[in-house]
Chain A
Amino acid sequence: MQVALFITCFNDTLFPDTGKAVVKVVEQLGHQVIFPEEQTCCGQMHFNTGYQVEAMPLIRRFVEIFSQYEAIVSPSASCVGMVREMYRFAAEVHQDVKLADEVALLAGRVYEFSEFIVNRLGVQDVGAYYPHRVTYHPTCHSLRGIHVGDAPEQLLRAVRGIDYVPLTQSTECCGFGGTFAVKNADTSMAMLGDKIRHILDTRAEVCVAADNSCLMHIGGALHRQRSGVRIAHLAEILAAQE
């Protein structure tokens, strides 16, 4: 299968290793990865902050660039959620029926990385080896936005050598929320404080998630506290080998 990688501007710029890991895992499973280089940003930050007029060209651009691919995979549940859940709404806000139709055709072919591996490819064990104590934070958009279910946990549990520890109150938001983290920094930090406490309680070496944006938030506090706990995108764990 040809798989078009939707890297997201955020991962492209700040977390290139996640993209490399996705390429490695998908290719190892025998599929061809294509990277449409015209891609930039899906428009999520603008749209969700209220800059909806500014987001529209980005949304139309994304639809144009990715419409031709059979499967589009992204290591960001939140950007996948934008395309699958919010593009229809964006089309409605701008009363663009044509865009709505195009989105309806495209949305079903856009996958978050873990749901693509588990649900589309039917694979749980990707042959990874990662001898570390790991906990997993299900990000809001992966859990409630696009309903990946337990696909990430299935993949993690199949990793050889891993010491997987579940997180207490895992389904609670870490307080990132895009511009929320800046606009409501105090509340965001109160939420993050509780999340960090639960992560430290697991005595994990690494905190894993399906969104680098939330991980950046969590990792920002872990690093500030010199906690020694690292963050890693799920794809990077699955790409690790002996």
Chain B
Amino acid sequence: MSNSSRNAMLAKIRTAISNGSRGDFHEAHTNAAYLSNDDENIAVRIDLFAHRVAEYKAWVGRCKADAIAQAIGERLMIRGKKRIVIPSDLPASWLPTGIDFIRDAQLDRAEVAGMDGVLSGAALGIAQTGTIVLDGGAFQGRRMISLLPDYHLCIIRAQDIVGMVPEAFTQLETARRNPIQPYTFISGPSATSDIELNRVEGVHGPRTLDVFIVG
């Protein structure tokens, strides 16, 4: 809107800041020494991550780096998913035969929504909370493709799993691109607590989430 609102608001805020200070009565800040990382080894961290993701009623599996395609193939077979959208840069070596993989080269929204599922990588994982972070980086694609299909199979590398939430933000800051990428934090399949405050899985996002930890 007009600059006048902006300037009036800022002027009012500046006056308020000085009028509303507690001055002599302000309590001194005590030390806020919250934890910024855990001291766990990678094996413990991976176990915790797997456990916490599973608690959101997602399925979690492990596989070796040289067996990704086979693991993906088996998983999609079990789920009965045949047409899968993938980010344009997903490695061909991940893809098993017998499944129809469609690379996202500006597919329209109806096409994406019509897929049986999406297969993607991830930027990082947070063990403490069982969270997967997507940042549109390698093997992740546009936000839309991990949102519209009802099924998401996500592949995360073991070395990309951090212990705690503050570590995740530190790592994301380090890996920040210019311009800044969009981020999506995913903790389990879509859910709601709106009916009697119980968590129910499955509303607008993917209702089924499978996760492979690689390595």
Contact = CB atoms under 8 A, between A and B. Distances in A.
Report if A and B touch in the complex (beta carbons < 8 A): yes
Interface of A: 88, 91-92, 97, 100
Contacts of B25: 88, 91-92, 100
SS of A interface (majority): helix
A236 B88 CA distance: 78
B24 interface: yes
Ranked nearest first, the 7 interchain pairs of A and B with the lowest CB-CB distance are A92-B25, A97-B24, A100-B25, A92-B22, A100-B24, A88-B25, A91-B25
Contacts of B24: 97, 100
SS of B interface (majority): helix
Interface in B117-152: none
A88 B25 CA distance: 8
Nearest to A92: B25
A85 to B, nearest CB: 12
B21 to A, nearest CB: 12
B127 to A, nearest CB: 33
B3 to A, nearest CB: 37
Nearest to A88: B25
A88 to B, nearest CB: 7
Nearest to A97: B24
B18 to A, nearest CB: 15
Interface string B1-28: 0000000000000000000001011000
A100 B24 CA distance: 10
A206 B25 CA distance: 43
Contacts of A92: 22, 25
Interface string B157-191: 00000000000000000000000000000000000
A100 B25 CA distance: 8
A92 B23 CA distance: 9
A91 B25 CA distance: 9
Nearest to B25: A92
A91 B24 CA distance: 11
B39 to A, nearest CB: 31
A91 to B, nearest CB: 8
A225 to B, nearest CB: 32
B58 to A, nearest CB: 35
B27 to A, nearest CB: 9
Contacts of A91: 25
B22 to A, nearest CB: 7
Contacts of A97: 24
